Structure 1
Amino acid sequence: MDQILEKPVVSQTIRVGNREIFVSEAGEGPVVLMLHGGGPGASGMSNYVRNVEVLAKRFRVLVPDMPGYGRSTKGLDRKDPFGDLARSMFGLLDAMGVKTCCVVGNSLGGGCALRMALDRPDRIRRLVLMGPGGVDTTRSLPTAGLKRLFNYYKGEGPTIEKLATFIKGDLVYDASAITGELIEERFKSSVDPEVVASPPLLGPKGIPNFRAIDFTRDPRLGKLETPTLVLWGVEDRVNRPSGGLSLLKRMRRCDLHFFSRTGHWVQWERAEEFNAVTMAFLSQGDSA
């Protein structure tokens, strides 16, 4: 992390089925579940270190390490990663006594959030998706950023140089604020022996079955009534910004914001704007 949070954050590990899920919590009020991306070494609090304190002023913010990442149990169903993650997150909410919530998701977490809303729209009040995965995945070749993500554990295996290239070149537009500490923290997490033995996003042939995780081919998407805010960096090199227009076209209640000179990490690169627009959106209507 690159800063110290002033708002008290309490962390615990909760048993969900055959998994242990590590989750951090701050604030009181309506629940907001924040789901991180799927890049090497990703974790909940490192993904949202610039956002949790602001959102916790109004909401009860839950930030888990999703299965396969951080301090949670490793391993993920590669045939249906979003479905596996969604079921696990609903299990976490059940264990914490949360019936309904808003969900904020970045990249892999955005795909999980969208799958949660499609599977159980009665439990998801609002969605905020930042460069979500699973959008138009079968309509064009994988981006260079996705290829670097999938190749991280291949060849010579993980190196800090490969990770630095991915973070500085693919996750952000302006890498000047990326610290060595941030890269070292993520590298240490990425080389956990359990992760190296079974990287969460790699399928039998090295990449996921994209057709099985393309939400734009799911007929439920056009019927979804969940109010959704989509945020996308124009310079996103991991998930194509055109995905935002695809969601806008298909979803009934979708607002779309593009951020210029911004990459895949909208919530990190444009934290102040992200916090403001997300707070406003989640505060609309009854979010309890």
Structure 2
Amino acid sequence: MSVIQAVDRNTETRVLQVGNRQIHLADMGGGPPVLMLHGGGPGASGVSNYARNITALAAHFRVLVPDMPGYGKSSKGLNSNDIWGDLADTMLGLLDALGIARAHLVGNSAGGGCALRMALDQPERIGRLVLMGPGGVDVSKAPPTDGLKRLLTYYTGDGPTFEKLSRFITEDLVYDGSQVPKSVLRERYEASIAPEVIANPPLRAPGDPATLAKLDLTLDPRLPALTNPTLVLWGVEDRVNPVSGGVTLQKLMSHCDLYLFSRTGHWVQWERADEFNAAVSAFLKEEEPAANPAIVGAAA
């Protein structure tokens, strides 16, 4: 059973039951399904992460934009011992609940790590992959960046503050922080201090440094065998996940193209929206999945 609320005549939001979680989903457009997975920064949500992309992509695809577990209007809490596995299982369960057998994936930051793990676990259910500064790449090979440290320690010390949130977004997520409206900062901050989020922050610094090795998807022996066509987009000025991770993925993956964006940080889809929308649309159109039959027993 899902609760549906109209946003406008072309878009609806739903709250679907996926296992023991409720997942909030925005649904727009028609055509081959594209699941768009947002990043893991404080106060993140699906629609806010892709505000400059949804309408453009929905002209060609059925665009599905969930709030991932721990964020937005979805159930809170993540398995800190297997973040990628927990996210991937839930998002694959979401496709089940929608009756979608196969979909393209677009993932930013933590959403990119989730997308990559989904493809590793069930490659036959994934069409093409678009990854923007994805998490889980080379994290065991170098100390965390200052931007990633600020993300993972946002809820520690003196706790969440508007100043910490503003600094993270304007200094770490984008190249030119002056372009971020104050309304975006305020919206993100208010979302980050919801009582249920503070009680169970989705991402936090691991207590054991060895945990980073578990988060490094480039150490997964299945990665070189993954044949899903992949487009990696990375801002050269990314201060959260180093751009060198793009080269690593291109070397390890057999069907991987890499686009680098100058004067761009961690939010390629926001900072370079026009180029992003054009490149992603063209890439995904190269192979449209076959009709997606409803999965027996799925609840739409």
> 1:204: Cα distance to partner?
5.7
Instruction: Give the alignment's TM-score, normalised by structure 2.
Output: 0.92
Counterpart pick for 1:69 among 71, 92, 101: 71
> 1:203: Cα distance to partner?
5.3
Does the residue aligned with 1:184 lie in a helix, a strand or coil?
helix
Q: Is 1:242 equivalent to 2:244 in the alignment?
A: yes
Query: In the alignment, which residue of structure 2 is the partner of 1:134?
Result: 136
Contact 2:153-2:205 within 8 A present in 1 as well: no
> 1:6: Cα distance to partner?
8.0
Distance 1:9 1:208 in 2: 43
Deviations 1:65-115 (A, max 9, x none): 000000000000011011000000011110011000000000000000000
Contact 1:172-1:263 within 8 A present in 2 as well: yes
Deviations 1:45-76 (A, max 9, x none): 00000000000001000000000000000000
Does the residue aligned with 2:65 lie in a helix, a strand or coil?
strand
Query: In the alignment, which residue of structure 2 is the partner of 1:266?
Result: 268
Distance 2:209 2:31 in 1: 40
Distance 1:19 1:99 in 2: 20
Contact 1:79-1:208 within 8 A present in 2 as well: no
Contact 1:150-1:206 within 8 A present in 2 as well: no
Contact 2:206-2:212 within 8 A present in 1 as well: no
Distance 2:214 2:39 in 1: 19
> 1:177: Cα distance to partner?
1.7
Query: In the alignment, which residue of structure 2 is the partner of 1:214?
Result: 216
Distance 1:268 1:77 in 2: 29
Structure 1: tracts of 5 or more residues without a match: none
Distance 1:133 1:49 in 2: 21
Query: In the alignment, which residue of structure 2 is the partner of 1:28?
Result: 30
Q: Is 1:113 equivalent to 2:115 in the alignment?
A: yes
> 1:8: Cα distance to partner?
2.5
Q: Is 1:187 equivalent to 2:208 in the alignment?
A: no
Amino acid at match of 1:162: K
Contact 2:152-2:205 within 8 A present in 1 as well: no
Change (3 A) 1:112 1:12: same
Amino acid at match of 2:262: S
> 1:125: Cα distance to partner?
0.6
Does the residue aligned with 2:141 lie in a helix, a strand or coil?
coil
Distance 2:210 2:37 in 1: 20
Does the residue aligned with 1:122 lie in a helix, a strand or coil?
helix
Distance 2:208 2:57 in 1: 37
Query: In the alignment, which residue of structure 1 is the partner of 2:147?
Result: 145
> 1:175: Cα distance to partner?
1.5
Instruction: Give the alignment's TM-score, normalised by structure 1.
Output: 0.96
Distance 1:227 1:107 in 2: 19
Distance 1:168 1:97 in 2: 39
Could you say what the CA RMSD is over the residues aligned between the two structures, in angstroms?
Answer: 1.4
Contact 2:35-2:103 within 8 A present in 1 as well: yes
> 1:215: Cα distance to partner?
1.0
Counterpart pick for 1:124 among 123, 126, 147: 126
Distance 1:166 1:217 in 2: 28
Does the residue aligned with 2:52 lie in a helix, a strand or coil?
coil
Counterpart pick for 2:102 among 96, 100, 103: 100
After TM superposition, the runs of 4+ consecutive aligned structure 1 residues lying more than 4 A away are none
Contact 1:129-1:229 within 8 A present in 2 as well: yes
Distance 1:250 1:82 in 2: 19
